[in-house]
């Protein structure tokens, strides 16, 4: 029987682990299939307090991991597939076993969305990706495109100009959702060409099964055209990783967990933190804050239950 299991090893999960381990709760972190969460695939993080010159996302998350480990957190790569609430303990199923725990923090984050077009699955890894930091360097001196209009799209477009000959930024509206500073940066970069009011309607592969071009449709004029690109970087947001909790924990129509009293849930002993329950801010620092609060609440719950 575990005292506390933390699902997820992004900013929220690792902050919860640091607090819980320091409180001697001996937490077990189930890291899932993307250890380190979204920060592990970003570039420079400029808005995490305490780093006036910025810090690389993977380095930031590695530091948090080391900090959690230093206080005795245990880690496993397991992925949660099922969940059973109970009066005295909670059961969660990983890929190959059921685990029992007295309390649980769900910080399983969110996964990148794709466009849902034909031949998407075959093309992932062959010129279709959601991670510029992972795959950008493979596309040197060739044209690529980024789809989306938020901070991620702006950040990825700017980053990709280090490698690509040209970066088309394809957005479905005529203005970006990204913050002002990101917009200024992207518009100041001569290698980036925005394509407004436009959707990608088809991926076109070459005879080797690698991305060769995309079909575009202007949503205002309905005009269609083909654009040659060697890679499509999709940055259209994320879906919360909550499948294992469906029908058992309260969630909204898009699958975000609905917090009760800040970081609680509708099941006693289950707490939630980070992007899995945050459809508004989705920042590293807000996720860390929720992770801290969830660990403090779990500690309170366990000490009350122990009496």
For residue 250, indicate whether it is catalytic: no
Between 149 and 269, CB nearer to ligand NAP: 149
> What does the DSSP 8-state code read for residue 126?
T
Least distance from ligand NAP to the Cβ atom of residue 260, Å: 23
For residue 145, indicate whether it is catalytic: no
- Residues near ligand NAP (CB under 6 A) are 47, 115, 147-153, 155, 172-173, 177, 235-237, 282
Residue nearest to ligand NAP (CB): 150
- Catalytic residue (choose from 11, 135, 231, 275): 135
Q: Which of 75, 76, 99 is nearest to 89 (CA)?
A: 99
Beta-carbon contacts of residue 248 (< 8 Å; ≥ 6 apart): 83, 84, 85, 267
Least distance from ligand NAP to the Cβ atom of residue 140, Å: 24
Least distance from ligand NAP to the Cβ atom of residue 207, Å: 28
- Catalytic residue (choose from 82, 118, 134, 206): 134
Least distance from ligand NAP to the Cβ atom of residue 291, Å: 16
Between 5 and 153, CB nearer to ligand NAP: 153
Between 24 and 47, CB nearer to ligand NAP: 47
From its phi and psi, is residue 101 left (phi > 0), alpha (psi between -120 and 50) or beta? beta
Regarding beta strands 28-30 and 231-234, do their DSSP bridges make them parallel or antiparallel, or are they unpaired? Answer: unpaired
d(CA 145, CA 124): 15
Exposure letters 216-238 (e unless 16+ CB within 10 A, then b): bbeeeeeeeeebebbbbbbbbeb
For residue 131, indicate whether it is catalytic: yes
- Both tokens assigned to 294: 């969830």
Active site residues: 131, 134-135
């Amino acid at each position: 029987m575990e005292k506390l299991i933390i699902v997820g090893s992004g900013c929220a999960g690792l902050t919860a682990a640091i607090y819980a381990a320091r409180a001697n709760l001996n937490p077990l972190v189930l890291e899932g299939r993307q250890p380190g969460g979204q920060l592990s695939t970003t570039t420079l993080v400029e808005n995490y307090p305490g780093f006036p010159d910025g810090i690389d996302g993977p380095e930031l998350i590695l530091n948090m991991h080391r900090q959690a480990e230093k206080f005795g957190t245990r880690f496993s790569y397991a992925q949660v597939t099922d969940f059973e609430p109970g009066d005295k303990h909670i059961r969660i199923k990983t890929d190959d076993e059921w685990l029992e725990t007295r309390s649980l923090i769900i910080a399983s984050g969110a996964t990148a969305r794709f466009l849902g077009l034909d031949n998407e699955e075959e093309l992932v890894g062959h010129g279709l990706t959601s991670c510029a930091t992972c795959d950008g360097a493979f596309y040197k001196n060739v044209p690529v495109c980024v789809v989306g209009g938020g901070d991620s799209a702006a950040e990825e477009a700017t980053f990709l100009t280090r490698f690509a000959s040209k970066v088309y930024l394809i957005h479905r509206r005529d203005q970006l959702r990204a913050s002002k500073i990101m917009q200024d940066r992207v518009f100041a970069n001569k290698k980036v060409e925005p394509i407004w009011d436009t959707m990608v309607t088809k991926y076109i592969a070459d005879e080797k099964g690698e991305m060769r071009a995309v079909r575009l449709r202007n949503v205002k004029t309905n005009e269609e055209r083909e654009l040659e690109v060697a890679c499509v970087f999709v940055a259209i947001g994320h879906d919360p990783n909550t499948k294992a909790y469906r029908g058992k924990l309260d969630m909204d129509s898009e699958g975000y967990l609905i917090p009760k009293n800040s970081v609680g849930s509708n099941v006693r002993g289950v707490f939630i933190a980070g992007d899995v329950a945050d459809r508004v801010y989705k920042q590293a620092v807000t996720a860390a804050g929720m992770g801290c609060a969830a660990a403090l609440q779990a500690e309170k719950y366990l000490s009350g239950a122990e009496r």
